[in-house]
Amino acid sequence: MKYNRNKLYCFSPPVMIATFIIEIGLAAYTLWRYRQNTLARLAVALLVCLSLFQLAEYMVCEGSLVGDLTWSHVGFAAITMLPPLGLHLIYVLGGATRKRLVYPAYLSAVAFVILFLGTAGALSGHECLGNYVIFQVSPGVGAWFSAYYYGWLLAGVGMAWYFVRQSKSPVVRRSLMAMTFGYAAFIIPTAAANMIDPDTIRGIPSIMCGFAVILAITLVAKVLPGMAKPRKS
């Protein structure tokens, strides 16, 4: 640390696997604790996708029999599903019957998942820096993927605040505000890290999903209680 004062150490491989264990553990807890209605299933899917990306990062850095590039594709497919899952979950929390934004969000996600899993050139390589991972996305794909990702994340935040203002239930409002906090907890610190050290921009997916463990904890600790139905003891 004496000779690397400006380097982040919070996204190293040991932290990646620890984050994976936390997130997959939260998914298992949600399966055990709540009845599997739409809300609980969406929460589990979101947690599994978060944990799968952490596992993929760890495998990329530490090596596996499957191959680093294969894990890169799997990891990107997993995080591709996060924005529509989060948006859908917000609609369910808000009690909306018409989900106009959810369907195009899923359709665009499926298009990117097919691209990442079915096209070898979508990801041209990776670099594990020992702290975070740089995934080399093809130039023609990267800009569209960023627009897709941030566009649907911002749509999720916007819809959460819309439902907060529309709902008369204190429990619903608290859950939606907690979800908004969970979003902010990984978007804002990532942006701050990028401003402090512009070189980290290349590792946005890795850093953002590292901070997203806060979203995972918030989801289970603050969003689901009072909204999801517990299993009968």
Give backbone dihedrals phi and psi of 9, rounded to 5 degrees, phi first. Answer: -125, 15
pLDDT classification of 186: cutoffs 50, 70, 90? confident
Domain boundaries, the chain: 13-223
Question: What's the CATH fold of domain 13-223?
Answer: Rhopdopsin 7-helix transmembrane proteins (1.20.1070)
Q: Which amino acid appears at position 95 of this protein?
A: G
Which contacts qualify for 169-172: CB closer than 8 Å, 24 or more apart? 171/226, 171/227, 172/93, 172/94, 172/95, 172/227
| % of the chain at pLDDT higher than 70 | 87
List, for residues 109-145, the tens digit of each pLDDT value.
999 999 988 887 787 766 776 666 777 778 778 888 8
Mean pLDDT computed over 30-46? 96
Q: Mean pLDDT throughout 19-24?
A: 95
Are the CB atoms for 200 and 8 separated by under 8 Å?
yes
pTM here is: 0.89
pLDDT at 66 over 90: no
Whole-number Å distance between alpha carbons of 187 and 178: 14
